[in-house]
Amino acid sequence: MLLLVDYGMGNLRSVSKALEKVGFSVKISSEPEDVKSADILVLPGVGAFRDAMENLRRLGLLKEILRHIERGKPYMGICLGLQLLFERSYEFGETEGFGVLEGEVVLLPTKVKVPHIGWNQLWKRKHSDILEG
């Protein structure tokens, strides 16, 4: 079973629809027992690192997610769900993460140009298979 973890901070519907489109049967849950029995975990995330860790602890999900990863079972973190794998973040103060990956989530220096993230119109200049779906 593929479990999409609901910890109050994910774009669950869009991720669920995308996973279903590529052939997965998706269950959405915030229950530790469902995490324990899942074959694959997907942890999406939108929001602050600290809030995410607090929600995972409060819901009793953190230990089961870590056990899942320690067993070598598939885990996919999307956005914040990926950041949580690191040792810590400094967003809104220092917060410990899962510690599965070595490293820290830090703010980029203000002089670093970051990519634009948002909705834009796309104009095709030539044929591309990737744009055909």
pLDDT tens for residues 41-68? 999 989 999 999 999 999 999 999 999 9
Query: Do 4 and 27 touch, CB atoms closer than 8 A?
Result: yes
Residue 28 included in any domain: yes
pLDDT tens for residues 68-95? 999 999 999 999 999 999 999 999 999 9
Residue 91: give its domain's CATH number.
3.40.50.880
Residue 114 included in any domain: no
Residue 82 included in any domain: yes
Check residue 126 and give its pLDDT: 82
- C-alpha separations of 28 from 55, 64, 86, 93 in Å: 16, 15, 24, 30
Q: Which domain holds residue 68?
A: 2-107
Check residue 129 and give its pLDDT: 77
Residue 116 included in any domain: no
User: Facing residues of 2 across strands?
Assistant: 26, 40
Query: Do 69 and 36 touch, CB atoms closer than 8 A?
Result: no
pLDDT confidence bin for 133, thresholds 50/70/90:
low
Domain total in the chain: 1
pLDDT tens for residues 90-129? 999 999 999 999 999 998 888 888 777 777 777 778 887 7
Query: Do 81 and 101 touch, CB atoms closer than 8 A?
Result: no
Residue 125 included in any domain: no
